[in-house]
Amino acid sequence: MSLPDRFLGAAFVAVVLAFGGLACARKESAEKASAPEAPLSAGYESALASRPIFRPSGTAPAVWGPGDLYNLLITGDESKGALFQFEAIVPQGGGPPAHVHSREDETFYVVKGSLEVLLGDSLYRAKAGDFVYIPRGTVHRFKNLGNQTAVQLVTFTPSGMEKFFREVFPAVTDRNAAPPPVTDDLIRRMNEAAPRHGIVFPANPDSGTP
């Protein structure tokens, strides 16, 4: 074979290889384009859907609890169901009766003052900086037995308990007013709404069992 023939043969092979490589690249690109992407997890999608919140002091919607004031810092609608957190401002004598949540875990973080906390069969004095974790199904309550107004952050995971609050507790229109007295009508509304929100008020609140 002459030199020109050899040159032409080599050139032909190079062209074939080039076209073959280009075809493979196009095939791989088409396969990647048509391959379905892995779906995001539900939790990650919720996080992407949530919006950041900056809530200046004194601007949160608030309700009157049993003897105290609850500032609703973030609700389930705002956290996509992840949590509900409120600030409890608890004057002397304030605090809810012993109860049990069947759907949510709860935490307390005392910011100011001190509170008597019932957890099952045990009583604790929680002061500023103390943290309390309450698994669902645990009898609990908090009460201010001191003479200084106490403040604590209360968190429910997941959210949902804010619906009970809005159904039962009156909205606050004057934050400087004293909490209204606990009336028979409030107790009735709490007892009627409790089953709809997974709450049980034990017959013997000091027994540690529902």
pLDDT score for 203: 80
Report the C-alpha gap between 92 and 158 in whole angstroms: 30
- Interval 14-37: pLDDT, tens: 434 444 444 444 545 444 444 445
Rg (CA), the chain: 31
Please enumerate in sequence order all residues whose Cβ is within 8 A of that of 12, keeping only pairs 6 or more positions apart, or say none.
none
Report the C-alpha gap between 132 and 119 in whole angstroms: 9
| pLDDT top residue among 52 and 19 | 52
- Interval 69-108: pLDDT, tens: 999 999 999 999 999 999 999 999 999 999 999 999 999 9
In CATH, what number does 60-200 get?
A: 2.60.120.10
For residue 181, pLDDT beyond 90: yes
- Interval 120-141: pLDDT, tens: 999 999 999 999 999 999 999 9
Report the C-alpha gap between 203 and 53 in whole angstroms: 40
pLDDT score for 43: 52
- pLDDT band at residue 151 under the 50/70/90 scheme: very high
Contact 205, 139 (CB under 8 A): yes
With pLDDT > 90 as the criterion, what percentage of the chain qualifies? 72
Report the C-alpha gap between 117 and 107 in whole angstroms: 12
Contact 85, 74 (CB under 8 A): yes
Report the C-alpha gap between 4 and 183 in whole angstroms: 108
Closest CA to 162 of 73, 92, 95, 97: 73
pLDDT score for 59: 95
